[in-house]
Amino acid sequence: MNEEQRKQQAQIEQPDNFDRIKNTSSDDMIAKYFQTSYEPQSPDIKKARKRRKEDIQFHYDFSIPEDVATIGKGKKFLIRTYGCQMNEHDTEVMAGILTEMGYESTSSTDDADIILLNTCAIRENAENKVFGEIGHLKPLKLEKPDLIIGVCGCMSQEESVVNRILKKHQHIDLIFGTHNIHRLPQLVKEALFGKEMIVEVWSKEGDVIENLPKVRKGKIKAWVNIMYGCDKFCTYCIVPMTRGKERSRRPEDIIQEVRHLVAQGYQEVTLLGQNVNAYGKDFEDLEYGLGDLMNDIHKIDIPRVRFTTSHPRDFDDRLIEVLAQGGNLLDHIHLPVQSGSTEILKKMNRKYTREEYLELVHKIRKAMPNATLTTDIIVGFPNETEEQFEETMTLMEEVGFEAAYTYIYSPREGTPAARKKDDVPDEVKKQRLYRLNELVNKQSAESMKKYDGKTVKVLVEGESKKNPDVLAGYTERNKLVNFKGPKSSIGKIVEVKITEAKTWSLNGVMVESTVEVN
Ligand code: SAM
Ligand code: SF4
């Protein structure tokens, strides 16, 4: 421990920290919090719809302030991530910032000096898991009062969640939102030296902060954010409130990031956004969409490029034309449909009909005959009838989706759908999910069978979780393949002959000649 850290540690007075937890009434805390750092704004669909047209600011000047540049020396951090790839990638950014502050990562809560819970608000059970974890961490905080526990991510953008933490979980030191990640150095400092819970959740819709450091999870595949936020306002979804308005990164910044990843040896990038094909719609000085961006990335020497998640409404002809070039642009398209019933789609505010979705699928298949299509489906939307659910089942078959993420509708406070009366019993919703999943499994197994005996290209990611003697990786169409092969093939694209097709994965043997064996 250096002199500076000793000084800093001396300033963290344990009794105060405990006093805060034991003596402050939650009403005091809430009053303070509303006066100071938090603009009380629950997810409010009406306010959120009236988004201001003011310019999105781009910031290129991120740096770690000098006074916190070594604050983490000799200390460790742990970030638990819940939810989607966007959160996974935000975790990589937070890990990057903490690493630049001198912290090292750990996977053990006992060793950690900072624990951050990067949360997901998309469904109720995701939130319940986080509250469970918050409860589990309380004894550790009482044992180690210097430990900083923070809650960030989508849940912290919800006023009800912040209130619940303030009232019931005063062992939490820090709450910050999805628009405040770049403020982590200052927030950690305030949490270390302050005597109150730090709450900084900006309801403003967010700028674009470039040049944030990142510690990526692996060295083979990388996420690249191309845009943030969502303006679609599907009636069931909390994301437009937790992630702010749609705002795109400048193409040159994205291309530079991809080039940098190539230089580091990455084999695959996935372009990320809640609604990637709305990319560029917010540019006022540029006619440039996802198709143009993909076309430019197509020319970069990276073997594999994916993108997620697409909204059917914004999937335009230019994008299809560019994707049809193939090469490093992979023909696996994840195209969430949500429901097969036009009436339900209307109630969901998806802005397309069943027929329009099928027409889009037809166009995609015409341009890319071998494309794999996967989707997201919600069952049990308020008042969904048996016939409407059946339309989802028939759409699933008609499109021939090879996989689907399926969910039971979960009411989210502040969204229009949550205010609807719902006459569908939970048991019926569960049965519908079960029936849908049976169909998804059947279609997945059928799609896998087509690969039996074929040779596929696999990007080898590492050892299989179940058996270290087996390697695992993904095909171009995102099929998981397990096979025996030399460890030296990890990080490379190799050819594997498929010997067995299962429901969700393929087994095979490597075609030796394609790999350099050291
Ligand atoms: N932007 C993407 C789109 O338009 O489909 C999806 C992003 S969302 C993070 C991922 C999926 O979560 C959605 O496609 C939807 O199926 C599901 N989802 C969102 N809100 C939900 C809710 N309230 N209940 C159940 N599932 C939900
Ligand atoms: Fe949510 Fe996706 Fe709809 Fe946006 S487009 S509101 S992220 S489901």
3-state helix/strand/coil string of 162-226? HHHHHHHCCCCCEEECCCCHHHHHHHHHHHHHCCCCEEECCCCCCCEECCCCCCCCCCCEEEEEC
Atom of ligand 1 nearest to the CA of 377: 16
Query: What pLDDT, in 10s, does the model give residues 460-476?
Result: 999 988 888 899 999 99
Q: Cβ contacts of residue 113 below 8 Å, gap of 6+?
A: 72, 75, 76, 77, 103, 146, 147, 148
Closest by Cα among 90, 54, 89 to 182: 90
Q: At residue 43, does pLDDT exceed 70?
A: no
- The CA distances from residue 430 to 236, 394, 397, 424, in Å, are 18, 18, 20, 10
234 lines ligand 2 (CB under 6 A): yes
Q: At residue 433, does pLDDT exceed 50?
A: yes
Q: Quote the tokens at residue 214.
A: 């990142």
304 lines ligand 2 (CB under 6 A): no
Q: How many residues does the chain have?
A: 518
249 lines ligand 2 (CB under 6 A): no
Lowest mean pLDDT among 95-104, 156-165, 329-338: 156-165
> Residue 416: nearest ligand to its CA?
1
Q: At residue 42, does pLDDT exceed 50?
A: no
Atom of ligand 1 nearest to the CA of 237: 20
pLDDT at position 203: 72
95 lines ligand 2 (CB under 6 A): no
CB burial of residue 383 (10 Å; 0-12, 13-18, 19+): middle
230 lines ligand 2 (CB under 6 A): yes
Q: Quote the tokens at residue 477.
A: 């169409």
Q: Give me the residues paired with residue 407 across strands.
A: 378
Tell me the average pLDDT across 342-371: 97
Residue 433 Cα, ligand 1 centroid: separation in angstroms? Answer: 15
Helix (H) or strand (E) holding 507: strand 505-510
- The CA distances from residue 462 to 260, 330, 401, 434, 466, in Å, are 23, 21, 28, 33, 12
Residue 232 Cα, ligand 2 centroid: separation in angstroms? Answer: 6
Pairing mode, strands 471-474 and 455-463 = antiparallel
Q: Quote the tokens at residue 7.
A: 């000084």
239 lines ligand 2 (CB under 6 A): yes
Residue 238 Cα, ligand 2 centroid: separation in angstroms? Answer: 8
Residue 233 Cα, ligand 1 centroid: separation in angstroms? Answer: 11
Lowest mean pLDDT among 28-42, 204-218, 312-326, 357-371: 28-42
pLDDT at position 512: 74
Helix (H) or strand (E) holding 358: helix 354-367
Tell me the average pLDDT across 500-510: 96
Cβ contact 415:45 at 8 Å: yes
Question: What whole-number distance in Å separates Cα of residue 446 and Cα of residue 474?
Answer: 18
pLDDT at position 490: 96
- The CA distances from residue 375 to 337, 392, 490, in Å, are 6, 12, 29
Question: What whole-number distance in Å separates Cα of residue 413 and Cα of residue 375?
Answer: 25
Residue type, 288: Y
Cβ contact 341:392 at 8 Å: yes
Residue 122 Cα, ligand 1 centroid: separation in angstroms? Answer: 7
Q: At residue 188, does pLDDT exceed 70?
A: yes
498 lines ligand 2 (CB under 6 A): no
311 lines ligand 2 (CB under 6 A): yes
Tell me the average pLDDT across 424-441: 98
Ligand 1 pocket, mutate which of 45, 375, 376, 392 (most atoms under 8 A from CB): 376
Cβ contact 280:289 at 8 Å: yes
Residue 409 Cα, ligand 1 centroid: separation in angstroms? Answer: 9
Q: At residue 119, does pLDDT exceed 70?
A: yes
Question: What whole-number distance in Å separates Cα of residue 368 and Cα of residue 315?
Answer: 14
338 lines ligand 2 (CB under 6 A): no
Ligand 2 pocket, mutate which of 245, 311, 376, 409 (most atoms under 8 A from CB): 311
Per the prediction, the chain carries an average pLDDT of 89
pLDDT at position 486: 92
Residue type, 112: A
Q: Helix 124-136 crosses helix 159-168 at what angle (to 10 degrees)?
A: 20
With residues binned 3-state (H G I as helix, E B as strand, rest as coil), the percentages for the chain, rounded to 5, are 40, 20, 40
232 lines ligand 2 (CB under 6 A): yes
pLDDT at position 22: 42
The structure tokens 């009800």 sit at: 160
Strands of 294-360 (E only): list them. Answer: 304-308, 332-334
> What pLDDT band is residue 513 in, cutting at 50, 70 and 90?
low
pLDDT at position 347: 98
Q: Quote the tokens at residue 93.
A: 């950014």
CA dihedral 165, 169, 173, 178 (to 10 degrees): -30
233 lines ligand 2 (CB under 6 A): yes
Q: Quote the tokens at residue 82.
A: 């819940």
Question: What whole-number distance in Å separates Cα of residue 156 and Cα of residue 169?
Answer: 13
Q: Which residues line ligand 1 (CB under 6 A)?
A: 84, 122-123, 236-237, 239, 274-275, 309, 311, 336, 338, 376, 378, 407, 409-410, 412
Cβ contact 339:391 at 8 Å: yes
Q: Please, where are the H alpha helices in 368-400?
A: 386-399
Question: What whole-number distance in Å separates Cα of residue 305 and Cα of residue 297?
Answer: 8
pLDDT at position 196: 87
Tell me the average pLDDT across 223-249: 94
372 lines ligand 2 (CB under 6 A): no
Q: At residue 48, does pLDDT exceed 70?
A: no
360-372 burial by CB neighbour count: b if 16+ within 10 A, else e? bbeebeebbeebb
> What pLDDT band is residue 194 in, cutting at 50, 70 and 90?
confident
Residue type, 247: R
> What pLDDT band is residue 54 in, cutting at 50, 70 and 90?
low
pLDDT at position 464: 86
Q: At residue 35, does pLDDT exceed 80?
A: no
- Ligand 2 atom 5: residue of nearest CA: 232
Residue 311 Cα, ligand 2 centroid: separation in angstroms? Answer: 8
Tell me the average pLDDT across 62-74: 95
Tell me the average pLDDT across 400-429: 96
Give the 3-state secondary structure of residue 471: strand
Tally Cβ neighbours within 10 Å of residue 503: 14
If one compares 419 and 47, the residue with the highest pLDDT of the two is: 419
Q: Give me the residues paired with residue 457 across strands.
A: 495
Atom of ligand 1 nearest to the CA of 86: 9
Cβ contact 409:380 at 8 Å: yes
275 lines ligand 2 (CB under 6 A): yes
Q: What angle do CA 207, 214, 5 make, to 5 degrees?
A: 100
pLDDT at position 10: 34
Lowest mean pLDDT among 22-26, 83-87, 250-254, 482-486: 22-26
Ligand 1 pocket, mutate which of 90, 378, 415, 433 (most atoms under 8 A from CB): 378
Cβ contact 170:122 at 8 Å: no
pLDDT at position 37: 40
